[in-house]
Amino acid sequence: MSDLSNVEEKMQKTVSVFSEQLSEVRAGRANPAILNKINISYYGVTTPINQVAGISVPEARLIVIQPWDISMLKEIEKAILASDIGINPNNDGKVIRLNFPELTEEKRKDLVKEIKKTAEDARVAVRSVRREGMDKIKNLNKESVITEDELRADEDAIQKLTDKYIAEVDKLLENKEKEVMSI
C-alpha cells in the first residue's frame, strides 16, 4: 500500500472549501461569514472588515458593524455596496447596520439551485483528485514500483476515500438545503 495521505489531504481541502462556500451563502439569517471576502483600504493596506471593526449579530436578521476607527465608516460602507452580497448598509454615523430581508419562496429555491451547483463542483473536484491518485498508482505499477496486489489495494483505498468525501459533501448540502428551506 503506497502513501495515500496526499490524496486524502486534497479531498479534505475540497470539502473544506465547499463548507466555507456554504457558510457564505446568505440564507435569510444574518451570518457574519458573508463579510469574509469584503476588504477595505485601511491606510493603504487591503484589510478584511473584521480586522478594522467589531461585527455582531444582535438579532436574527441584523448584522452590526462598529469600526474601531470612526473615519473608516464610509470606506466600509463603500466596500459593502461594491460587493455582491445584495444588502444595502445603513450608516448612522457610529455603526453600520445590515438588515437581511425575509427570503421569498422563489429566492430560497434559487439559493438551493446555487448550492446544488456548488456541491456538484465539489464532487467533481473530489473525483478529479481520485483520478489523479489512480493515475499515479497505475504509473507506479507500470514502473514495477508496486505489485498488482498493491495496485488493487490502493485503488480500493482511493475509492473508499472518494466515497467518504462525496458523502461529506452530500451531508453538508443536505443540511444547508434544510436551513435555507426552513427559514
Do 156 and 113 share a domain, yes or no?
yes
Cα dist from 1 to 8, 17, 164, whole Å: 14, 28, 19
Residue 28: predicted pLDDT: 62
- For residue 73, the domain's CATH number is 3.30.1360.40
Q: How far is residue 151 CA from its own chain's centroid?
A: 34
Tens of pLDDT, residues 11-52: 999 999 998 888 777 666 677 877 877 888 888 888 888 888
Q: Of 46, 75, 99, which marks where a domain is finished?
A: 99
Tens of pLDDT, residues 102-112: 777 888 888 88
The pTM for the full model equals: 0.68
Q: Of 81, 99, 117, which marks where a domain is finished?
A: 99
Per-residue pLDDT at 1 exceeds 80: no
- Which domain covers residue 50, as residue numbers? 32-99
Give the Cα-Cα-Cα angle 51, 57, 60 (nearest 5 degrees).
150
Q: How far is residue 133 CA from its own chain's centroid?
A: 24
Query: Reduced to 3 states, what is the DSSP secondary structure of residue 150?
Result: helix
pLDDT category of residue 58 using cuts at 50, 70 and 90: confident
Give the Cα-Cα-Cα angle 83, 87, 91 (nearest 5 degrees).
95
Residues 94/72, Cβ–Cβ less than 8 Å: no
Sequence-distant (≥ 6) Cβ neighbours of residue 15 within 8 angstroms? 122, 126, 165, 168, 169, 172
Dist. CA 59–CA 99, nearest whole Å:
10
Q: Of 99, 124, 153, which marks where a domain is finished?
A: 99
Do 169 and 79 share a domain, yes or no?
no
Burial 39-78 (b: 16+ CB within 10 A, else e): bbebeeeebebeebbebeeeeeeebbbebeeeebbebbbe
Number of domains in the chain: 2
